Structure 1
Amino acid sequence: MQTRIIRVGNSQGIVLPKKLLQQYHLSGEVDLRATPDGLLITPVLRPARQDWDARFAAATAAGEEPEEEMLEGFADASEDEWTW
């Protein structure tokens, strides 16, 4: 597959076809690595709860209920909507 390098503001970039983005699960942040054969583009995978330890400690130190701080943004969801 070939593509062209295009001007993007003061930089340059390439357009990746939607099919490739879906096939390789690329969206949001990606990691670029130089290899002997060219550039390797991989998705940045973050664990779902990677910062919960720090958030829990910060909420506890502030005298807050950690569960409330950690569930921020889920205010519209009632507990019976959750599957336990």
Structure 2
Amino acid sequence: MIDVMVDICLDHQACDHRARFEEAVRRCPEVRECLLVTHDMSYRLRVQAHGLESFETLRRTLAERLPGMKRMCTTFVLRDVLKERA
């Protein structure tokens, strides 16, 4: 299983656009975390996939399912440092 951080920039920041996006995210079981963030991006998602091919399929699915996306950037998690202290 791989974890991927997906940064999303919405094309509009109006409340109704954010609400539609957030509702769509709630219907995506692969999304484990959804954070509204500051800076250039609007949201940071943590998603899980079974591998690279699985993530590529998921990425296309997210692009189709999540309304109002202007840009999507992905970062693969190599290791969760804080998880190791448990």
The TM-score, its normalising length taken from structure 2, stands at 0.21
The TM-score, its normalising length taken from structure 1, stands at 0.22
Q: Which structure is higher in RCO with an 8 Å CA cutoff and minimum separation 6?
A: 2
Is the radius of gyration larger for structure 1 or structure 2? 1
